Amino acid sequence: MRLTKYLLSVAMVLVGLVLLAAISYLVHGSLEMHPTEEQQGKVRLIMLLTFVCCAEVEAVLWLLIRNMNRRGQPNNAIDSDAARSPLRAPYGAPDRGPWASRLRNEDDTRSR
């Protein structure tokens, strides 16, 4: 797991460097001594497409790393019914907290 995170981080850095090169070419265009407008347009179009693709890859890598970090945490810290509702415990868990006795009493009176 640690190796995978490390490799994803290295991939993010490499894609980031390509992203910076694409931005450089977008700003300066072709690096020839006397480029024509057509050459400038072609280089800018290709670098714009490269920029968009690299930005998408960077976002996917970031999401993968974020997802891997979340997997290392206990489930109840990430997404649980108890985190969403302070009044009810998750299914299967015993009722706890200051409202537990009140909730049980209300449920008992409704069932009668």
pTM for the whole structure? 0.56
Nearest to 93 by CA among 101, 104, 82: 82
pLDDT at 111 over 60: no
How do residues 50-109 score in pLDDT, each as one tens digit? 999 999 999 999 999 998 888 776 554 444 444 555 555 555 555 555 555 555 555 555
Domain boundaries, the chain: 2-72, 81-112
Alpha-carbon distance 65 to 8, whole Å?
Answer: 7
Alpha-carbon distance 50 to 18, whole Å?
Answer: 8
pLDDT on residue 78: 44
How do residues 13-53 score in pLDDT, each as one tens digit? 999 999 999 898 888 877 778 888 888 888 889 999 999 99
SS3 label, residue 20: helix
Alpha-carbon distance 100 to 5, whole Å?
Answer: 42
